[in-house]
Amino acid sequence: MRRSARSARLTHHVLASAALAALLPSTALAQGSGQLPVVTVTAERRAENVRDVPNSVTAISGELLDVLNSGGQDVRQLAGRVPSLNIESSFGRAFPRFYIRGLGNTDFDLNASQPVSLVFDDVVQENPILKGFPIFDLERIEVLRGPQGTLFGRNSPAGVVKFDSVKPGNRLEGYGQLAFGRFTSINAEGAVSVPLSPVASMRVSVQSQNRDDWVDNTFASAKTKEIEGYKDNAARVQFAFNPNRQLSTLVNLHHRDLDGSARTFRANIIVKGRNDLVSGFDESKVSQDGINEQRIRNTGGSLRLRYDFGNGIALNSITGVESVKAFSRGDIDGGFGAVFLPASGPGLIPFDAESADGLPYHRQVTQEFRFESTGSGPTK
């Protein structure tokens, strides 16, 4: 019996070694030189190898980012794709709430501060509505876990999520992609970089996400008959001007126009005491007496100037302006009527509840001056 068990263990190790040996050639081939590719991040406000950054950082770029964007989702697509990151919303495609390592803010007030900061093209997006700007034509997404107040300021005790757009290049290039899905879902995205002169270039990026309403409201006198559709269009134009090796200039203009639905609440769809849906549940139907609507208009721009003094120090100036108008309204009791009214349902509806919130006009103006060390060692 001892000899037989020892032989079995030996056979197991031989098979494992053979499998590992079979994988090694393909791994080495994929890596080319046998070294892992360099991942460049800006977690410390300058371009560095991720291995040299003393923070917990995860970066998403390249093909993985393209695959995620092809699904037509909003920023919540990143939930579960990055360790310790969760994103949810009770406003549909607007007002995402970020959580890192479980720390976040569930408050759905439009002026509520969050412990996770979002930085889009070097400009902090302070109001939660601004954090829902569509993500497209991105070079990289970085998630920085843990307190980041030293480098990124307030409202970042849980961490920071950074979005960096693809910048204008010095050659003519671009891409386009088109995807179709159920409910007449169409996701179109594209970008083109155009050199304007030896020292100037421009990049135009657009995205259009559309879906028909696919949830029918069966309530007889419903004010909103169909829900869950959206038309979400966004564009970004960037101008780069680099007259010499010391000075670089980047202008960023962007706009978003969303007409859609607030999150659909459904009453009494879970069996009491269990984690099962009630019999006959149909996700394509609701019965509500409230109004459901959502509109967002977001326009912004930024100007980034960077001057390299040539002695290991560079000065960065980043000016940002954002304006947004938002309104969202929905039925939050998930049904119609109430227990004290002639009719109510489905199930027990204690009272009729409908909620709305909006920003008739919100403007954010930011200005940042930052000195950057361009060397690998301490600044002298």
pLDDT reported for residue 378: 58
- Check if the beta carbon of residue 273 is closer than 8 Å to that of residue 244: no
Cα separation values, 89 from 65, 75, 98, 103, Å:
21, 10, 9, 15
Give the helix/strand (H/E) hosting 67: helix 62-69
Are domains 38-163 and 170-373 of this chain identical in fold? Answer: no
CATH, domain 38-163, list 2.170.130.10, 2.60.40.10, 3.40.50.2300, 3.40.640.10 = 2.170.130.10
- Check if the beta carbon of residue 217 is closer than 8 Å to that of residue 227: yes
Instruction: Decide if domain 170-373 falls under CATH 3.40.50.150.
Output: no
pTM for this model (two decimals)? 0.82
What does the pLDDT look like over 190-241, one tens digit per residue? 999 999 999 999 999 999 999 999 999 999 999 999 999 999 999 999 999 9
Cα separation values, 7 from 1, 2, 109, 199, Å:
10, 9, 66, 71
Q: Domain residues of the chain, as ranges?
A: 38-163, 170-373
Distance from C-alpha of 8 to C-alpha of 5, rounded to nearest angstrom: 5
The 10 Å Cβ neighbour count of residue 110 is 18
Strand partners, 355: 330
pLDDT reported for residue 35: 61
pLDDT reported for residue 325: 95
Distance from C-alpha of 313 to C-alpha of 307, rounded to nearest angstrom: 9
pLDDT along the chain (380 residues), means of 10: 40 42 39 58 63 72 76 82 87 86 83 87 90 91 84 83 93 92 92 96 96 95 93 97 94 97 92 92 94 95 94 92 94 93 90 89 93 72
pLDDT reported for residue 37: 64
In 3D space, the residue among 334, 298, 282, 356 whose CA is nearest the CA of residue 120 turns out to be 298
pLDDT reported for residue 50: 61
- Check if the beta carbon of residue 132 is closer than 8 Å to that of residue 114: no
pLDDT reported for residue 41: 63
- Single-letter code of the amino acid located at 65: L
pLDDT reported for residue 49: 58
What is the DSSP secondary structure assignment for residue 30, as one 8-state letter?
A: H
pLDDT reported for residue 7: 41
Cα separation values, 223 from 44, 218, 289, 330, 345, Å:
51, 11, 7, 11, 16
- Check if the beta carbon of residue 210 is closer than 8 Å to that of residue 185: yes
pLDDT reported for residue 18: 41
